Amino acid sequence: MDLRLKNKRALVTGSSRGLGYATALALAKEGCKVAINGRDEAKIKAVAEKMSRESGAQVIGLVGDVGLTDVPEKLIQQTVDAFGGLDILITNAGGPPPGSIDSLDETAWQKGVDLCLMLHVRLIKAALPYLRKSDAASVLTVTSMSVKQPIANLLLSNSIRMATIGLTKSLALDLGREGIRFNSILPGWTETERVTELMTARATANSSTVEEETRKQSEQSPLGRLGQPEEFANAAAFLVSPAASYITGVMLNVDGGMYKGTL
């Protein structure tokens, strides 16, 4: 299938590694011009050069912590300045730290709100003037299966990401007549650096090993394994592409069937 992504202009935040990286690479391989983002300047520049070599596409690396108030608008403007416009916005960031109601203080909650909700709001608000000029405008918010099925010891993620789902669905309804699509992917346990960090924390808490904790988590999937970043990226590339032009307001689980509900 031709996703019709050639020469489309995309910004993927939180893309120096993990799901964001895999998604940006998938878009670049489809011919998109892609801006990627991370907090470490040397790393994001190196990643952009590597991605450009692998895909043959124009890839630029933008530095900034998307959890900070003023960074999202700067990233949008830098992308538009480089590409002359914006067609695709994928709002992604690393997840908040684990913790319980007793261990998480007010500061942790506020950082969680900035990271899991407000970064999406700020990026979308800054991008809208340019998306309104696109003939293939699409926004994808990256959330988590935790919005449907809470994950143990991830109280911040379980609580705050649900607001981003409300945001995504509301904007799909509000801005559909303007030709802008909004969808979200709810990834499950995928073999990324963040999941390795979470498995390490579990292993420490349970006096076990990362391998054992990973095995136990894999058994929760009907497929018997964790996902691969490329599997998430394939779904993401389709959803933001013109090939999915009649899909909006969808909250798509990419979790290997780990979510046990029917809705």
For the stretch 51-63, pLDDT in tens is: 999 999 999 999 9
Burial (CB < 10 A; 0-12, 13-18, 19+), residue 101, is exposed
Question: Per DSSP, which regions of 39-180 are E strands?
Answer: 59-63, 88-91, 138-142
Q: Per-residue pLDDT for 201 more than 90?
A: no
Q: Per-residue pLDDT for 94 more than 90?
A: no
Q: Per-residue pLDDT for 262 more than 90?
A: no
Question: Per DSSP, which regions of the chain are E strands?
Answer: 9-12, 33-38, 59-63, 88-91, 138-142, 181-187, 251-254
Q: What pLDDT score was predicted for residue 194?
A: 86
Q: Render pLDDT for 104-113 as a digit per residue (tens, 0 to 9).
A: 999 999 999 9
* Domain locations along the chain: 9-188+229-253, 190-226
For β-strands 88-91 and 59-63, DSSP reports them as: unpaired
CATH number, span 9-188+229-253: 3.40.50.720
Enumerate the β-bridge partners of residue 62: 37
Percentage with pLDDT > 70 across the chain: 100
What is the average per-residue pLDDT within 230-245? 98
Q: What pLDDT score was predicted for residue 125?
A: 98
For β-strands 251-254 and 59-63, DSSP reports them as: unpaired
CA distances from residue 189 to 83, 98, 186, 223 in whole angstroms, order as listed = 34, 15, 10, 12
* Amino acid, res. 239: L
* Amino acid, res. 158: N
Coil, strand or helix at 186: strand
Q: What pLDDT score was predicted for residue 167?
A: 98
Q: What pLDDT score was predicted for residue 198?
A: 86
Return mean pLDDT, the chain: 96
Q: Give helix 71-83 / helix 119-131 axis angle, nearest 10°.
A: 30
Please state the pTM of the whole predicted model.
Answer: 0.95
CA distances from residue 80 to 140, 177, 234 in whole angstroms, order as listed = 18, 23, 25
Q: Per-residue pLDDT for 223 more than 90?
A: yes
Q: Render pLDDT for 129-183 as a digit per residue (tens, 0 to 9).
A: 999 999 999 999 999 999 999 998 899 999 999 999 999 999 999 999 999 999 9
Q: What pLDDT score was predicted for residue 64?
A: 97
Q: Per-residue pLDDT for 236 more than 90?
A: yes
* Amino acid, res. 121: V
Enumerate residues 6+ apart whose C-beta is below 8 A from 133: 85
Q: Per-residue pLDDT for 9 more than 90?
A: yes
Q: What pLDDT score was predicted for residue 166?
A: 98
Higher-pLDDT residue of 214, 94: 214
Phi, psi of 141 (to 5 degrees): -95, 135
